[in-house]
A = this chain, B = another copy of it.
Amino acid sequence: MRRATIYDVAELASVSPATVSRHVRGHRVRAGTAIQRAIDQLDYWPTAAAQSLRSGVHYSIAVVVPDITNPYFSALVKGIESVYRPGPYSVVLANSDESEKVEDAVVAELVRRVDGLILAPVTEDEETPLRARDAGVPLVFVDRMLKETTFDSVIVDNVGGAGLAAAHLLSLGHRKVGAISGPLDTTPGRGRRDGFVQQLEQAGVELPDAYDQIANFRESGGFEAMLRLLDLDEPPTAVFCANNLMCAGALKALKGAGVRVPTDMSIVGFDDLDMASLLDPPLTVIDRPSEEQGMIAAHLLQSRLAGSAESPRHVMLPVRLLLRTSTAPPPKAVRRMTATSTSPSLSTGRKGTAGSNRRICRDRAR
């Protein structure tokens, strides 16, 4: 049996196809109930392709992230979906797998099928976004963005967050601190390293090349970078890991090498992990509002789709230091400072970030 078309419904309900179309799209029509009965009876569903072809709208948007396996991105997506439910838009998700090439192919495909795009680009200087512009598809960046851009964006205060981590480590008395940063051609990779280094410099502490590790944003990156750090004659007494996955990798390397945290080495991560409090030891991290970030991105996109589009809007969300127990004073504090104070004085100058009032918190019960 052939699939029913709008003509079949029209005939059965004794109206014109145009009227059926209006009814289906929610307009009030006189024969509404009769049409609905015909629709149910024939099990009619509009053909999406025909609708799109004719009207030019798809009623769907796409989200492209570099690694769906990363809990941060899962949370982000959840936030976006919560805004778009219950429709009329459906949201499709795609993975670029941290590959510029894959991302480009994926986006090229998607811009032909969706009305808008939320993108966490793989690098800061790629050309993928042009595909969206060329296709006339509104785009908003999340988590990462291009260097100079006319697109909307929602990122977090990477520089400030990393600075917070550095200040915390310094206040504990650490002077030999290392950093495992992500690729420097990404917004968070570069921003977090910059913020960390700046804060160190303000305290007159240097980040030697050997302590300045760059790696990929996955577990393997953190694992290998930590191995290199441990291989040094004089490893750092504290290390900042630029994201959650790297941090897990670094912890595995430490565990394998028998290095105790925080007794032998302190660790601060960026991005909270659902399991962070269950780890051995519970992880001190820079935490950011992931779901909320997704929701804001969705709202920005929606306002574009609704046509109320002004100049590009860039929103930056505040982050906070979540204290758990993976940080402690160094094994032998060289210069005694406020090293015993677990509530470090963070009077160091810092440009204020939107609405950040409580920047340091202890982890609550669960």
Residues of B within 8 A of A113 (CB): 48-49, 60, 113
Q: A26 in the interface, Cβ–Cβ < 8 Å?
A: no
Q: Given A90-B106, A280-B279, A78–B53 Cβ distance below 8 Å?
A: no
| A residues 61-92 touching B (CB-CB < 8 Å) | 62, 68-69, 71, 74-75, 77-78, 81, 85-87, 90-92
Give the interface of A toward B (CB within 8 A): 3, 43, 45-53, 58, 60, 62, 68-69, 71, 74-75, 77-78, 81, 85-87, 90-95, 97, 102, 105-106, 108-110, 112-113, 134-136, 219, 223, 248, 251-253, 255-256, 273-275, 277-281, 365-366
A365 to B254, CA, bound (A): 12
A295 to chain B, nearest CB (A): 15
Top 4 closest pairs, chain A to chain B, by CB: A280-B280, A49-B52, A93-B93, A92-B92
Contact B134 A366 (CB under 8 A): no
> Which residue of chain B is the closest to A86 with respect to CB atoms?
B105
> Which residue of chain B is the closest to A90 with respect to CB atoms?
B109
How many copies make up the complex?
Answer: 2
Contact A93 B90 (CB under 8 A): no
A47 to B54, CA, bound (A): 11
A45 to B109, CA, bound (A): 10
A243 to chain B, nearest CB (A): 14
A168 to chain B, nearest CB (A): 21
A47 to B112, CA, bound (A): 6
A95 partner, pick from B46, B77, B219, beta carbons under 8 A: B77
Q: List 19 A-B contacts (CB under 8 A).
A: A45-B135, A48-B52, A48-B112, A49-B51, A50-B53, A60-B109, A85-B102, A86-B105, A90-B94, A219-B274, A248-B274, A252-B366, A253-B366, A255-B277, A255-B278, A255-B366, A275-B275, A275-B278, A278-B280
A124 to B30, CA, bound (A): 41
